[in-house]
Amino acid sequence: MLRQLRHRQTASQRLVRRVAILLTLADQPCLDSVARQLGLNRITVRLWRDRWLEAVPGLQQAEQDGASDPLLLGLIEQALDDAPRCGKPATFSPEQLVQIVAVACEPPEKSGRPISHWTSAELADEVQKRQIVPRISPRSVGRFLKRGGVAAAPQPLLAERQPA
């Protein structure tokens, strides 16, 4: 199944590299040798060997329980997937972001604003006024909307700065 994953055209390069580590280790169990052969460091090879060894009992149990090949492949991919990483939690919830987009899609006049298009500053002010978020900078609003949160808008949601 690992060879099948390695040759799958839709497999990510990360998955292919991890499968290559395991297949090479099966032929020669020396971490240093495998690391040199694949152009990786020893720590990376050891990490994926250990992750694989952790997953083997569950994979064997699934195989004994008669799991289908697609299910087994999925379990293997899951075992070779990146572990969750720590990091700063998102500042805004998905619900808040949807509400910000909804405000951006409304005409500013509806909010009593004497402008024809939202600016980042006006939008940030409005979502704080409506208590959608306690604080948000105009830059954050602009970055979020520019990133594609509202890619299907029929017209620009934010006023563009005119060259002076």
Q: Is residue 107 part of a domain?
A: yes
In terms of domains, do 114 and 53 share one?
no
Which tokens sit at 13? 């390069």
In terms of domains, do 41 and 8 share one?
yes
Q: Is residue 86 part of a domain?
A: no
144 and 97 in contact (C-beta within 8 Å)? yes
Q: Is residue 163 part of a domain?
A: no
What's the farthest any 2 CA atoms get from each other in the chain?
72
3-state secondary structure of 158: strand
30 and 19 in contact (C-beta within 8 Å)? no
Taking each helix axis as running N to C, give the angle between helix 31-38 and helix 42-64, from 0 to 180 degrees, rounded to the nearest 10. 110
Q: Note the pLDDT tens digit of each residue in 120-134.
A: 999 999 999 999 999
Q: Is residue 161 part of a domain?
A: no
Main-chain phi, psi angles of 30, to 5 degrees? -80, 115
Q: Is residue 156 part of a domain?
A: no
In terms of domains, do 60 and 10 share one?
yes
Which tokens sit at 23? 């297949």
Question: In the predicted model, what is the mean pLDDT of residues 19-32?
Answer: 94
What's the pTM? 0.53
The boundaries of the domain holding residue 27 are: 2-79
**Residue that terminates a domain, selected from 79, 109, 138:** 79
Q: Is the pLDDT of residue 138 over 70?
A: yes
Q: Is residue 17 part of a domain?
A: yes
Domains in the chain: how many in total? 2
Q: Note the pLDDT tens digit of each residue in 62-107.
A: 999 999 989 999 899 999 998 777 888 888 888 999 999 999 999 9
Q: Is residue 154 part of a domain?
A: no
